[in-house]
Each structure stands twice: as structure tokens, then as C-alpha cells.
Amino acid sequence: MSYPIAPGGLAAVLAHPDDESFGCAGAFALAHDAGATTRLLVVTRGEAGSADGSADPAVGDVREAELVCAARTIGLDEVSLLDGYPDGGVADQPFDTLVSEIAAWLADRRPAAVITFGPHGVTGHPDHVVVGNATRWAVERLADAGLAPNAVYVVSPIFDPSGNRYDLSPEEQAATHRISVTEVAQRKVDALACHASQADIGEEVAALRAAIEDGRPIYEGYHRVRPLVPAPHPAFDAALL
């Protein structure tokens, strides 16, 4: 997918195909509908997303196609994949190289805000943790050159309609922004459904569909980590851009 020349908008830097649909599909859909440019950088192809967790290039091909399906459903203007980072093995690659590649991607596109993972990566997956850390290092490197995004957010999934509770870091538990994605919830469901090869998709899709049918509000949570939001937070902010 090609990307527009115009800088700005909302971007995310994540580890695997489907991270965007679980984590920030609603925020992306809202930004797209508001006319903002939306972009996603994914570090791996997800080739270890097989039933037994073994790496299979064919699985990577399937998951890349699923990512394109989800991106079109959400309304992303660009999806980029990095080369050379194995699913499950990002931490084994040179960290400074990853930081440099993410920094170059961000500098070329100049998003107003970027979403990534926090210190625990939501699920504790090592790829999530490393990608989140590298993204924040990349932003600080760009700040020295005056090219950093205006804001950096980490996913804080404390409003999960499925009722899942993760062993989150204090930062990830302390969402500063609660974004109502009720109006685009069906697109989030459809984006998740694109990732049909993944066994854990069904539970999330069923939970979201039940919430939609029951007329319950659906939220995504984020913690703004740059610039810092002083604690305590008296109220949630309701927009990322």
C-alpha cells in the first residue's frame, strides 16, 4: 500500500500482524474518518503464529495478507513491514539497528502522534516489549533533531470488553485517554476477523460482537508517555489528535 506525501496524522509501530486490530483499530478508524492520515509499521511478518509456534514462511505469507485485509477494513493509508526481524526473535537482533529503522520511518512520515507498546507489551510477549522500547528510543533520537511526534501513547487495554486482565506494568494500567470506539466497533470486529489464522481471534470477536449487540459502550485505553501527563489524572481525555 502506498502512502500519501502529506505528513502528520496518527501512526503506530507494533510487532506482529493483528496487534493493530487488538490494540488500536478503533483509534485508527476514528482518525481515518476524521480525515487524518493513518499509518502502521509492523516489525515482523508473524511467521511463528502457527498452532505449534514454529516459524513457517507460509504462515508469514498468510498473516501478511491478513494484515492487508485488516488495514483496508480499518482505513489505513499505509502499512509497512521491516525486513530481517524474526517473529519471536526481535530481541536477538541488534537493538540500535531497530531503533534506527523505526526512527527513519517516523522521520520520513512525521506523524503527529504515534502508538506503541508499553513496558510489558500488554501480554508480556518479548517482541512487543522490544518494539515498544525501540520506538520510544527512536522518538527521543528524533527529538534531538526536532522531528519527534508531538505525542507518544502506549496501549493500555483496561477497557477490554472480553473481561481479560493482563499483568500490566504500572504505566499500562494508568490510562490517560479512554477513547470511545463504539461507533466504529464493527470495523474493529471485521478487522480482527481478517486475522482468521490466529486461534485467539475468535474469543475477542465474540466478546466485541456481544458488546455491540447489548448496546454497551466500547473503549480503547491509552497512556500518553510523551509528553508526560502529570498524575493524578482527574479525568480521561477522549481524543488522541
SS (H, E, C) 190-233: HHHHHCCCCCCHHHHHHHHHHHHHHCCCCEEEEEEEECECCCCC
| Residue 1: per-residue pLDDT | 45
CATH code for the domain in which residue 147 is found: 3.40.50.10320
In a domain? residue 24: yes
| Residue 97: per-residue pLDDT | 97
| Residue 157: per-residue pLDDT | 78
In a domain? residue 241: no
C-alpha cell at 184: 466504529
C-alpha cell at 130: 522490544
| Residue 161: per-residue pLDDT | 57
Burial of 18-51, coded b for 16+ CB within 10 Å and e otherwise, reads bbbbbbbbbbbbbbbeeebbbbbbbbbbbbbbbe
User: If DSSP codes are grouped into helix, strand and coil, which group holds residue 24?
Assistant: coil
| Residue 163: per-residue pLDDT | 58
Residue type, 235: A
In a domain? residue 1: no
Q: Where are the beta strands (DSSP E) in 127-176?
A: 151-155
Cα 70 to Cα 134: distance, rounded to the nearest angstrom: 24
Residue owning grid cell 488495514? 71
| Residue 57: per-residue pLDDT | 93
Q: Work out how many domains the chain is built from and give that number.
A: 1
| Residue 172: per-residue pLDDT | 80
CA of 205: how far to CAs of 21, 123, 152, 200, in Å? 10, 18, 27, 9
| Residue 153: per-residue pLDDT | 97
In a domain? residue 40: yes
| Residue 2: per-residue pLDDT | 47
| Residue 234: per-residue pLDDT | 63
- Boundaries of domain holding 51: 10-226
| Residue 129: per-residue pLDDT | 97
Q: pTM for the whole thing?
A: 0.91
What is the Rg, in whole angstroms, of the alpha carbon atoms belonging to the chain?
Answer: 17
Cα 231 to Cα 103: distance, rounded to the nearest angstrom: 29
| Residue 162: per-residue pLDDT | 58
Q: What is the pLDDT along the chain (241 residues), one digit of tens a residue?
A: 444 456 799 999 999 999 999 999 999 999 999 999 999 999 999 999 887 788 999 999 999 999 999 999 999 999 999 999 999 999 999 999 999 999 999 999 999 999 999 999 999 999 999 999 999 999 999 998 899 999 999 999 765 555 555 667 777 888 889 899 999 999 999 999 999 999 989 988 999 999 999 999 899 999 999 998 777 666 778 888 8
